[in-house]
Copies of this chain bind each other. A is one copy, B any other.
């Protein structure tokens, strides 16, 4: 059975008892995190419905999140930002060049124009993305923007200073 068909079956059950909570708050925070299949941001960070925009991509990289964050803040009113990278991330396994070679081999596709945004040093990658945030003219610079490492084995967030 395909994973999508299983998800549709699960959604059928979910929707039978689902109710959108009334009087939802306006979202206050946007969290940028990895797409990793081991991470459940809502549970790990205890977000209640309506509280947080959750932006996810390979690595939790800011470069791919700028459009979404800009909308989250200026169109939809969030006023705090979390950038979260995590231990044992797939983005630490290969370099950009190694990834391009995998694309050439698997797809015959030339992926040389894509920055895959891998990293070697987890804490440094969070710092790099905090710095990239600070350089963006369209993102709010007058609100808290904090970086974290999430340990997939302990479920624990640690702030990067």
Footprint of B on A, CB under 8 Å? 2-4, 6-11, 13-15, 18-20, 24, 27-31, 35-38, 40, 42-47, 49-58, 64-68, 70-72, 74-76, 80, 82, 90-91, 93-94, 99, 102-103, 106-107, 109-111, 114-117, 137-138, 140, 144, 146, 152-157, 159
Contact = CB atoms under 8 A, between A and B. Distances in A.
Given A4-B146, A74-B103, A156 B11 contact: yes
18 contacts: A2-B80, A4-B29, A4-B82, A7-B157, A10-B45, A11-B157, A14-B46, A15-B156, A15-B157, A35-B55, A37-B50, A38-B50, A42-B42, A55-B57, A57-B68, A58-B71, A107-B138, A107-B140
Counted per complex, copies of this chain come to 2
A146 to B, nearest CB: 6
